[in-house]
Amino acid sequence: MTGDPTTTTAIRTPRALLEALVATPSVSGEEDAAAALLVDYFAAHDREAFVDEVGNVHAPGDDAVLLTSHVDTVPGDVPVRVEDGVLWGRGAVDAKGPLCAMAVAAVRTGVSFVGVVGEEYDSRGARHLLETRTQPRALINGEPSGWDAVTLGYRGLLAGTYVGTSPSGHASRPEPNAIEEAIDWWGRIEVAFSTDRWATVTERVTAKPLRFSGGLTDDGIAVEATVDVQFRVPLDADAGAVRDTVESQLGDGGAGEASITWKDAVPPVLVDRRGPLPAAFRRHIRAQGGDPRLLVKTGTSDMNLYADAWDCPMVTYGPGNSDLDHTPDERIALAEYDRSIAILEAVCETLVV
C-alpha cells in the first residue's frame, strides 16, 4: 500500500478507499474508525454523510435505489497487502469489497447509501434501519456474489440455547447426568433433520452446535449442560416448524430438566428471478463480458430482514468469492472490484428516472 490510507486525499479513488477500509479493523461492535473513513470519503466527493445513533453510515440520495452493505467483520488477523493485483485482508470479501463498490457507485450516480453495523453478530444496524427509515423504491444489498453473479435468496436462521440440569451425584452412578442428556438430545436432533441424500443444501435444515459446555453448578448440587445452537431454515420452510421439531426432541430430561430459549428467528428469502433488478444485472454483466449467474446462498444475510419488512425489488450483489469469507486466505482481485463498480453504476443509472 502507498500513501496514508487515513487521509481524505488518499481515499478519493475507489481502490484507495478499499485498501484503506480493509486496513482499518472493524470487528462487530468496533466499527467507529471504519465508519469515519466512509464519512470522509463521501465528504471528499461533496456528499452529505453522517453516522446515526447505532453506528450506521448514511449518505442520503435518490431513493430510486438504496445501496447497503455492512461495515463490520468477523475477528481474525489477515495481514493487509497487495500482491499481483490482489488485495489481502480481513473483510476484503466479506464485505468491504461490496461495501466500497457501493459507496463509489452511490457517489457516481447520486443514489442512497447506508453502511450498516453488526451484521456478523446481531444485525442491529439493519434492524435499526428498518425501524427508522422509509422504504426505498429498490434495494441492493452488498455481499460477495462474484462480479458476474446475483444472489436471489438465502436460507433463514433460528438460534437458541439449550440448558439441561440434573442432580449431582457420584460419577460411578449409572444414571445419565445433564451432560449425557444433552449429547443424547443433539443426537435426536441430527436424526430429526436427516434428509434424502439427493436434497440440495438449500432444501435442508442445517443444524449446528456452536458451543457446548457443562459441569457442576457453582453450589455443587447439580450438573448443568448448555448448548448454543443454530438452525438454517430451508427456502420452503419456516422458523416456526423448525422450532417445533427441535422442542419435540427435548423429552423429559431423564432425571433432570431441559429447555431451550430462542434468541433469533430470521425467515428465508427468495426473490423472483424475472424481476427488474435481476434483469438489469444480467444485462449489464453481459455488457462487461460476463455470463450472468443467479445464486441462492446457504447462509443468511440482512437481505432476509429487508425482504420480511419491505415490499420492494431487491437482490444481493458484490465482488469477491464467498468461499473466502471468514478464512485466513481472505482476498479480492482488484480488477473484479473495478468491474463490479461499473456494473453497479450501470444498474443504478437504469433505475434512476
Which amino acid is present at 182?
Answer: A
pLDDT digits (tens, 9 = 90+) for 92-126: 999 999 999 999 999 999 999 999 999 999 999 99
**Among 59-73, 244-258, 326-340, the least confident range:** 244-258
Cis peptide before 149 (omega within 30 of 0): no
DSSP-assigned letters across all residues of 231-248: EEEPTTS-HHHHHHHHHH
Q: Which of 261, 259, 255 is nearest to 180 (CA)?
A: 255
Amino acid of residue 323: D
Neighbouring C-alpha atoms within 13 Å toward the C-beta of 82: 13
Residue 32 CB burial class (10 angstroms; 0-12, 13-18, ≥19): middle
Q: List phi, psi (to 5°) of 256.
A: -120, -150
User: Which residues fall within 8 angstroms of residue 13, CB to CB, at 6 or more apart?
Assistant: none
Report the 10 Å Cβ neighbour count for 236. 9
Residue 72 among the catalytic residues: yes
pLDDT above 60 (res 282) = yes
Report the C-alpha gap between 244 and 47 in whole angstroms: 49
Domain definitions of the chain by residue range: 9-154+268-351, 156-266
The confidence score (pLDDT) of residue 169 equals 78
What number does CATH give the domain 156-266?
3.30.70.360
Residue in the structure block whose three cell numbers are 453488526: 118
What are 345's three cell numbers?
453504476
Residue 7 has pLDDT above 90, yes or no: no
45-54, 128-137, 196-205, 273-282: which range is least confident on average? 196-205
Site of grid cell 459441569: 215
pTM for this one? 0.89
Q: Do domains 9-154+268-351 and 156-266 have the same CATH topology?
A: no
Evaluate if residue 11 carries a pLDDT over 80. Answer: no
How many whole angstroms separate alpha carbon 136 and alpha carbon 63? Answer: 5
Distance CA 182, CA 46 (A): 58
The CATH homologous superfamily to which domain 9-154+268-351 belongs is Zn peptidases (3.40.630.10)
Please give the pLDDT value at position 4: 42
Mean confidence (pLDDT) of the chain: 92
220 pLDDT band (50/70/90 cuts)?
A: confident
Query: Choosing from 19, 31, 40, 119, which is the catalytic residue?
Result: 119
pLDDT of residue 238: 85
Task: Name the active-site residue from 72, 325, 336, 345.
Answer: 72
Q: Which residues contact 12 (CB under 8 A, 6 or more apart)?
A: 41, 44, 45
138 or 12, higher pLDDT: 138
The predicted structure's pLDDT at residue 145: 97
